[in-house]
Structure 1
Amino acid sequence: MKKIILVFFTLFALYSCSDQVKKNKQNNKLPITLTTAKGGKFYGETLHVNSSEPITALFPASVTDIYSQHVSSQIYEGLLKFDPNDLSIQPAIASSYTIDSLNKKYRFNIRKNVYFHNDPCFIDGKGRMVTAKDVKYVFEFLCSNHKMNASTIQWRTSILGANDYFENKTDHVAGIKIIDDFCIEIELNEPFSGFLNLLALIHTSIFPKEAFEKYGPQLMNEMAIGTGPFEVLSIEDTFKLRKNSHYWRKDEFGNQLPLLSYINIQFDQNKSNELADFKKGELDFIWGLPVEEIPNVIGSLEDAKNGKNKEFTVQSINSLQVEYYGFLMKDSLLKNKALRKALNYAVNKNYIATYILEGSALPATHGIIPTIHGYPNANVKGYAFSKQKALYYLKRAGYTNGNQVKDLKLYYNNSGQIIELVANSIQKQISNILNIDLQLVQYERKDLFSKIENSVLPFWRFGWIADYPDPANFIASFHSKNINSASKSANNYGLYNNPEFDFYFDKAMSACNDSSRMLDLAMAENILMEDAAVLPLFYYTSIRLINPQLRDFPINELEYRDYSLVYFTKEKKKRVRVYESLSKE
């Protein structure tokens, strides 16, 4: 009985503390009306945003989806970050860094003006300064086998001594060394040209040991305490963030960031509802449009160029996001490579991109990796539609007629009309070309992904948006080292295993020359395509509609967002459509 009372009292104390923190923040209200800042910018206002999927995690090491990342990255930040204009690497908590001649040791100098958000977990409730000890604590957590760590694999295989730490053979990671209070060194097992990109990911964001120990894992999502430009105000029907008044960063004019006072995030999966809210002025931008609304909202390309679209800014760019269907390699039916090839050739991806998606995507005929600067996509042999080849490989699979293929099911999530339209189209195409009765099975998103992660579905819908602008990001999960059912971060859901693929991927990861690295990655992708391990469908074109008074909110291929730079202007911006970033493929 004493234990039960103690646990109840502890939880009550934590929740009471949480409530008190929220009350203090809510009572300390910030101005909403616009006030003048330097350089023609303005302070104030609330940014109203919709998320079409729920926020599943705020704790950096637990974030696995882009919707959670969009919010968590405003609360937390790491040593480095991406520039939202071009996705180049920029200093964040680290003011500078050096790399040794062997490309294995990275030394980071930490700013001396970065503080954690104010919170009762600190003495007097005031956020303390970030030091090298905090960085070491976070990176050792990333190398640990803690159940809240969803990114173990990429760290335990790259940082010196990380695997021993993961297996509890040592109490520290040998490759993480504190040089002084504001300098830390990270040593890798082998050179890895993409390492700096990894350090800009949300997983590497710095959080305080005091908060994790005080609130425990169950409260770390709500009691999110980082160093970022915004802090959590409330988590209810809508999600509210408020300006971190002690943020370290200033813009090029010397304005203290962030410029916005608040961010209000609502949750609605229905894209038509989202569009309606935007038209009513209740949202300041939307990301992605209902397919059936694209011609009505944006109009033709020529009209948009002539300024005949409505009073909003339209941004478009070919994103680093691919839609594909995955195969389970051990499935009794789909372990047949010839059948997987027949299904790939039977799908007309050009038709889907042009007529189903109204031109809002590009067909994935060159593999699973979208167009990335420097990557030889043309070297990759994918699957363009071919009825003749589809029937040839069906016969090679051992079927004289597709009606002999029994119980082929495609599992997909009910998260939007696009997903269902594409699934229905593919069902018809496979029936028309191969005479295979493809059955469609619909799940809630969370239920579908839970089954995918446990490798129990034979054929499923999946989408992937790159974490960073590198082709390796799209095929890393197919490495055999990512087959590990005991690890939350293992993401080779189809259980694909080919030593030749592993060889070229590993060779690319250790290459110091970027050109040869790209060629090795293309070799790995070609092997993946030859094995027909997936059925790539299309690469998304990212489209945003934006309040014309919203400024400094550039679009990029990752939909990486930095709200600290965003502001509203009193003067309405002229109607603009951004087409320059779109390829002509």
Structure 2
Amino acid sequence: MRVIIRLVMASVFLLTLNACEDPEDRTLINNRGFVYCGQGQPNTFNPQLTDGGLTAEVLSNQLFDRLLQLDPDSHKPVSMLAKAWTVSEDGKRYVFKLRQNVHFHTTAWFSPTREMTSEDVVFSFRRLIDPENAYSGISGGQYPWFNSLDFSGLVESVDAVDKYTVAFTLSRPDVSFLATLSTPYAVIHSAEYATLLVKNNQQDRIDHYPVGTGPFYLEQYKPNELIRLKRHWDYWNGAAPMEQVVFDISSRGTGRLAKLITHECDVLSAPIASQLSVIEGDKKFVLSSQTGMNVAFLALNTRHPALSELEVRQAINYAINRSALLKSVYYGTGNAATGMLPPMSWAYDTTAKTPYDPQLAMALMAKGGYRNGFEVNLLVPTLAKPYNPSPRKTAELIQADLKEIGVKVNIVSQEEINRQSLRDDPAGHDMVLTGWIADNGDPDNFLRPLLSCNAKFTGWNMSNWCNRYFDRFLDAAISTSDIAERKTDYFKAQQILRDRLPVIPLAHGVYFQARQADLKGFSLTPYGDNSFANVSRGGR
């Protein structure tokens, strides 16, 4: 049977997609790489500039390394580029000892002359905190994830103690700091490359022509078609078995499941729930799953006249039938959300309940002054995510539920929700169907980036909500290492969310990945995709 291959992964380095019809050629391709079908288009290859998407969730782990990474079992920070570290008694100074013989990528646009040193770590983080840095304002100068954490207010300085030692000085204790450095946003760039670009007045190229230390480097990018990564032979942790990885980011032709079935794709990221039975029933494929550290939620713009009323927000919460949502959208694979934190979080509040009471919702609408209802626009992304496998269907169910209490919902579809535009026009949206995939296991990662007052100013707090008592509990929770004290503070913060309801938690999804059965070495974590450094292909 002749198989049409749209993404060529052989040793033939072509600039366009080609067809491969010779079974022997396909075998050669299989031995040297694989095709990954994901979703979304990157507008940068620097995860520091993003608020999620393909760059942060998948590409970052292939192109870059971080000082620390999360242990796949304990989910605690462990060594990566930093081989050891110490923390001062007052919790405000972190000193990291770096690995030696770590090499940056050699690419068509840059050839390094030295290994990674503390100079590279200092550059990578000073860009984020120093407004006088030559790269501070490059590519828009916005670092959404870091800004939502007030990273520049937390980190007073980053200094090279010696060639392989770096010290971070904090303005206040923060026990979540090591977890922050473990996320795919906290990547290490080449200071040597950055210096060269300054000399050539080409600073913006650092964000579009990346140079990292990861297991793969960028060789080719064709917008709306493909991203090709090649093996980094000098990778500090050993060269990857695969010669290359090609990301199919095209939207033409057949759907993603059809591409998996016809072998146009080797890996299918986040198949939708209705496709799972098809994949499970075919022995040519392996379907992997991982309980996700994620949440789907409805953000209510508290600047909207009706949504500014607490009783109205409460009514919306009571009106949504989460059981029907789980059945129709998640096909029984998810969990109803009682709060923002998922059940696997150590700060999950087991006493919280999932409300559904349409009659009470009607009474609350009347109490809030909207007995006759009102009209809102609901922004809905078109791309499926692990926390929401079918956003459009979710929106339609919410639309039907809210109609019963007099709220007319107009669904406005966008490929992805642009947090930047929402920040620049805070009154330009009413409700947003969105979600979050945690970057680490600390509860702070679910609450501060999305709901703190600082996040309101950076655009991540799409509810335009600010509660100083909520922020105080978050700050108290990261100022101590006592888990019991931290849990108490997080419980109090979550109670404020249940009382004030700037967001309506909906569900926690399961992360799925489908692949050809002969691909080995994939690992799924609760935070999404991991590195492809250990992926190999066995015999069929």
Q: Which string of whole-angstrom CA distances, capped at 9 and with x for unpartnered residues, describes residues 167-212 of structure 1? A: xxxxxx3xx2322111111122222221111111223211123323
Aligned partners of 2:66 and 2:186 also within 8 Å: yes
8 A contact 1:453–1:493 mirrored in 2: no
> Scaled by the length of structure 2, what TM-score is found?
0.85
Matched, 1:329 2:302: yes
Match of 1:231? Answer: 217
1:96-116 CA distance string (max 9 Å, x none): 112222322211111110121
Establish whether residue 361 from structure 1 lines up as the match of residue 334 from structure 2. yes
- Alignment partner of 1:317 out of 290, 302, 317: 290
Report the counterpart of residue 61 of structure 2 in structure 1: 73
- Quote how far apart the aligned CAs of 1:370 are: 1.0
Identity value in percent? 20
User: Hey, what does 2:153 align to over in structure 1?
Assistant: 157
Aligned pair 1:370/2:342, yes or no? yes
Deviation at 1:372, TM superposition (A): 2.6
Residues 130-159 of structure 1 deviation map (CA, whole Å, 9 limit, x = unaligned): 111211111111213423341235321322
SS in 1 for 2:263: coil
User: Which whole-Å CA distance do the structure 1 matches of 2:73 and 2:219 have between them?
Assistant: 28
Distance of 2:354 and 2:412 partners within structure 1:
25
**Could you tell me whether the CA contact under 8 Å between 2:47 and 2:55 is conserved in 1?**
no
- RMSD, matched Cα: 2.7
Aligned length: 496
Q: Decide whether the 8 Å contact of 2:380 with 2:417 is kept in 1.
A: no
Amino acid at match of 1:99: V
Identify the residue that residue 289 of structure 1 maps to in structure 2. Answer: 271
1:518–1:57 CA distance, 2 compared to 1 (3 A): farther
Give ranges in structure 1 of 5+ residues lacking alignment. Answer: 1-24, 36-42, 162-172, 250-255, 300-308, 573-585
Secondary structure at the aligned position of 2:207 is classed as coil
1:341 to 302, 314, 326: 314
3-state secondary structure, aligned to 1:503? helix
CA distance in 2, matches of 1:34, 1:93: 36
Once the two structures are TM-superposed, the CA of residue 271 in structure 1 deviates from its matched residue by: 12
Q: Which residue pairs with 1:115 in the alignment?
A: 103
2:43 equivalent in structure 1:
56
Q: Whole-Å Cα distance in 2 between the matches of residues 361 and 405 of structure 1?
A: 31
Distance in 2 between residues matched to 1:127 and 1:323, nearest whole Å: 46
Q: Report the equivalent of 1:273.
A: 255
Cross-structure match for 1:458: 430
Taking the TM superposition and a 5 Å limit, the aligned residue runs for 1:218-257 are 218-236=204-222, 237-249=225-237, 256-257=238-239
Match of 1:577 in 2: none
Task: Give the CA deviation at 1:51.
Answer: 1.7
Equivalent residue in structure 2 for 1:148, among 141, 151, 164: 141
1:121/1:540 Cα in 2 relative to 1: closer, same or farther (>3 Å)? same
SS of the residue corresponding to residue 408 of structure 1 reads strand
- Decide which structure has the larger Cα Rg and report it: 1
User: Partner residue of 1:583?
Assistant: none
Could you tell me which residue of structure 2 aligns to residue 580 of structure 1? none
Maintained 8 Å contact 1:86/1:556: no
User: Alpha-carbon deviation of 1:507?
Assistant: 0.7
Aligned to 1:128: 114
- Which residue identity does 1:356 align to in structure 2? V
**Tell me, which stretches of 5 or more residues in structure 2 are unaligned?**
1-11, 15-24
Residue 230 of structure 1 deviates from its aligned partner by: 0.6
SS at match of 1:536: strand
The structure in which a higher percent of residues are helix is 1
- Structure 2 residue matching 1:565: 3-state secondary structure: coil
Q: Which residue identity does 1:148 align to in structure 2?
A: G
Query: Is the Cα–Cα contact under 8 Å of residues 54 and 267 in structure 1 kept in the other structure?
Result: yes
Q: 1:119 to 1:415 in 2, by over 3 A?
A: closer
Q: Does 2:531 correspond to 1:562?
A: yes
CA separation of 1:269 and 1:418: change in aligned 2, threshold 3 A: farther
**Counterpart of 1:437?**
408
Matched to 2:436, the amino acid is: W
What secondary structure is seen at the aligned counterpart in 1 of 2:528? Answer: coil
- How far residue 81 of structure 1 moved from its aligned partner, in angstroms, is 1.8
TM-score under structure 1 length normalisation: 0.79
Kept after mapping to 2: 8 A contact 1:324/1:538: yes
One-letter amino acid of the counterpart of residue 147, structure 2: T
Task: State the distance in 1 between where 2:48 and 2:536 align.
Answer: 29
Aligned residue for 2:524, secondary structure, equals: coil
| Partner deviation per Cα, 1:454-474 (whole Å, 9 max, x = no partner) | 422121111211111222211
Q: State the distance in 2 between where 1:82 and 1:44 align.
A: 30
One-letter amino acid of the counterpart of residue 97, structure 2: N
The alpha-carbon distance between structure 1 residues 356 and 51, as it changes in their structure 2 partners (threshold 3 A), is closer
Q: 1:104 to 1:527 in 2, by over 3 A?
A: same
Counterpart Cα distance in 2 of 1:322 and 1:272: 30
Does the alignment pair 1:101 with 2:89?
yes
